[in-house]
Amino acid sequence: MEGINKNKNYEENSNSDSIYILKMIIYSIIGVGIFFIPININNQNQTILYHIVDKIQLNYNNFLQVCIIIFISLGSIKLFIDKKRSKTFLSLRFLSVLIILNIFYGRSYIFFKNDNTILIIKEIILNLVTVLPISSIFMPFLIEYGLLDIVESYFHPITKKLFKVSGKTVINMMVFVFTDCFCGYYMANILYSKGRLRLNELYMLLLNFSIISFPMTKYIYNELNLNSSIFIFTNLLILIISNMILCRLYPMIKIKKSYSVKSNYKESIHRKDKLKKGINKYLKSKDNKKIFIHILDNLEHTINLTMNLIPNIVLIFFFGDLILNNEYILELFSKLFYPIINLLKTSDVSLISKSIVSGFYNEIIAIDLINKSVDYNIRFIIGILLVIKCTSLTSNIAYISSSSIEIDKKYFIIIFLERVLLILFLYSAIYYFYKGYIM
């Protein structure tokens, strides 16, 4: 396979490598502990990352709001002075500043019809200026000190066969699951820009694994009053099967397997002594850049990214709120899915269709459309669609539009439609099998 080094012999560790191995162990433990291990503090059972975020948001909320306004305003003024953007773009950017001012300091909200949208925007903005920068500070512990090489050594044969991606993407998938989608996008962006992730792997992560957050899954099954264990199991089963299929369909099969930059990094298949060879691979490809340099580089990147991302998300919510509160437009888009859903011979076709359309905008807002007294099966399938649809205007599409990643936007729409079809088909097969052979 292209770019995979099967026969390379790694040199034995010398005594001078001991310090690097110790550093790798300590830093990897810190990274795993910060991102993935939940601990209970003040009756809150969550990762250390979110304990830090909650503390900052609780104690410095007003300061954060002021910083957001200042940074977004300065960014907009800079764009105006540089004159590198059109007048329409600059007008929309200043509109986003007015909207943010109204959200934080307005006595009445004049830009949104749906009050829940205000709460969602506030939470997203505050998370972007806390979760993303703090994640970027600790991200080097996950990706720069050997953990990726060890994980790739163990998981590469599995992920390559199932999803046509390298084993190191398992860490990126876990970031999606345990933190939030924006941290996962950021990690994929960093790996791709450093030549450690192929273009097709970047697409696979951004389009097919990007909204599998456990906190969001928990929110949805609680809001819809669903059995948590059955809901999580069904989601994982459909997610795995659908991604196995999607990576073998157009447009994924047409995406190049190239790296963004040339580097010394090579994928490797280790059939035995996986831990030892993973460590040796890290030792051969390590750089001598200090951890603080990695942190400063990441912080600079996230600050610039956030200055673009927040206005884009605010504007998407603004125009999305106008569109989704127009029943005629919502009904028009919803009817596109009627023929497919009718094949399932289920009730509430209109509700499922509207949930698909509004979920493409934002899954939390889509939840508000659902009457909690509707049939359990309808709530269950809507919940699955919202959890593993993996494409949203207010998440990955907003991120791509705000970053330097060049991805064809039409692929988002194509894969979103393919995924919806697969989810409906797979869920129906599971449901009717259960009804016919188990009950």
Whether 389 is covered by a domain: the verdict is: no
Q: Tell me whether residue 67 is in a domain.
A: yes
Note down the domain range covering 285.
13-211+271-311
Tell me the pLDDT tens digit for each residue of 387-433.
Answer: 988 778 888 888 988 888 878 888 888 999 999 999 999 998 988 88
Number of domains in the chain: 1
Residue 227 lies in a domain: no
Alpha-carbon span 154 to 167, nearest angstrom: 7
Tokens of 415: 């894969």
Query: Are 208 and 390 contacting, i.e. CB atoms less than 8 angstroms apart?
Result: yes
Alpha helices in 224-375 (DSSP H): 228-246, 274-285, 291-324, 327-334, 338-342, 349-361, 363-368
pLDDT of residue 160 exceeding 80: yes
Establish if 82 belongs to a structural domain: yes
In a domain, 219, yes or no: no
Q: Stretch 237-259: mean pLDDT, rounded?
A: 93
DSSP state of 253: G
At 40 the three-state DSSP class reads strand
Q: Is residue 391 part of a domain?
A: no
- The predicted model gives 46-68 an average pLDDT of 95
Report if residue 20 sits inside a domain: yes
- Whether this model's pTM surpasses 0.85: yes
> Quick check: 108 pLDDT over 90?
no
Assess if residue 401 is contained within a domain: no
**pLDDT tens digits for 177-214?**
998 889 999 999 999 999 999 999 999 998 888 767 88
As a whole number of angstroms, the distance between CA 87 and CA 80 comes to 9
Q: What is the pLDDT of residue 438?
A: 63
pLDDT at position 238 is 94
Question: What percentage of residues in the chain have a pLDDT greater than 90?
Answer: 59
